[in-house]
Chain A
Amino acid sequence: MLRMTRSAIELPVTPDDRRIARLAALAIGLTLAEAAIPSPVPGVKPGLANIVILLVVLQYGWRAAAWVSALRVLGGGLLLGSLFAPGFWLSAAGALASLLVLALARHLPSRHFGPVSLSVLAAFGHIGGQLALAAWWLLPSAAVVMLLPVFAAAALIFGAVNGVIVARMLAGAASSGRQSASCTPPSTP
């Protein structure tokens, strides 16, 4: 009996894994909360989970952010019941495109380009990826073109707001001097 349990496969868990899991849980929570917010146009959302992704990129690097983002899309799809449905693939395409944009944008000189730049660029990437997939797969007609300005304006506004939130969180963490201990994002001052 003891031998049976001994032979069970054990996966070593590193502190990094735990941190990624914790941050992914936070991002999934924000995704769920956001799904409850009514929206006049499907797909126009504040993208609160992107706050988490952006914080992870800035504090723990791009690889960790890619993990958190992938787990967020997968976990959000599971919990919202949209796993592998069209909405899930749109979400995945948006997350992938915004990660690719972040991979490039995070090399911008941070003297001049802060979290707001990254957030706005990532938001445009997000909406670009979603609309590209939607235009190619779901709505191969002019309908997507007509919605383009609405989505772009939403990306600009929500991207800027999320970026300011991230900038304030980072500023708060830096001033309270516990940046290294912040596994969960630091609270705003």
Chain B
Amino acid sequence: MLLRAGDVGVLLAGAGLVATLTVWAWNGDRGDSVVIRAAGQIVKNLPLTHAQTVSVDGPLGTTRIAIEPGRARVVADPSPRQLCVKQGWLTQSGQAALCLPNQVSLEIRGRNAAYDTLGY
């Protein structure tokens, strides 16, 4: 008697709402292209459709970037702290990895960009 028929319906509807919100909020805007910059200038704008490796030269050396369907990451970079390498795969629109001081950056773009521009 604790749960009546409608209660089960409300619980299921609530679970459906939670699932919908999760998909909508956390999986909403997957990126479809990647913008690669060196010293602030765009050097490449590539779609996230097929696997490829890109090498970009900076003041310290060469930054290697791997692209796979739906995601991209920095594979190797000469910067001392390796923060952009440790970030791993980027998938969502608006995510970015900055390799400093090698001045190479990687930004994922989706259908609707969250920001017009980002200054670092």
**Residues in A lying within 8 Å of B, measured CB to CB:** 108-109, 111-114, 116-117, 120-121, 124, 142, 145-146, 148-149, 152-153, 155-156, 159-160, 163-164, 167-168, 171
Contacts and interface: CB of A to CB of B under 8 A. Distances in A.
B118 interface: no
B6 A156 contact: no
A104 to B, nearest CB: 13
Given A146-B26, A148-B21, A167-B2, A124 B14 contact: yes
A120 B14 contact: yes
Contact of B2 (A109, A114, A146, A149): A114
Given A116-B2, A171-B1, A156 B7 contact: no
Contacts, number: 69
A156 B18 contact: yes
Majority SS at the chain B contact face? helix
Contacts of A109: 6
A164 B17 contact: no
B14 A163 contact: no
How many B residues are at the interface, by size bracket? 10 to 19
Nearest to A121: B10
Contacts of A155: 14
B11 interface: yes
Contact of B5 (A112, A146, A160, A167): A112
A111 to B, nearest CB: 7
B24 to A, nearest CB: 8
Contacts of A160: 11, 14
A111 B5 CA distance: 9
Contacts of B11: 116, 120, 156, 160
B1 A149 contact: no
Contacts of B14: 120, 124, 152, 155-156, 159-160
A149 B7 contact: no
Interface string B4-32: 11110011001101100110011000000
B114 interface: yes
Contacts of B6: 108-109, 112-114, 117
B10 to A, nearest CB: 4
A17 to B, nearest CB: 33
27 contacts: A109-B6, A112-B5, A113-B4, A113-B10, A114-B4, A116-B4, A116-B10, A117-B6, A117-B7, A120-B7, A120-B10, A121-B10, A124-B14, A145-B25, A146-B25, A146-B26, A149-B21, A149-B25, A153-B22, A156-B15, A156-B17, A156-B18, A159-B14, A160-B14, A163-B7, A167-B3, A171-B2
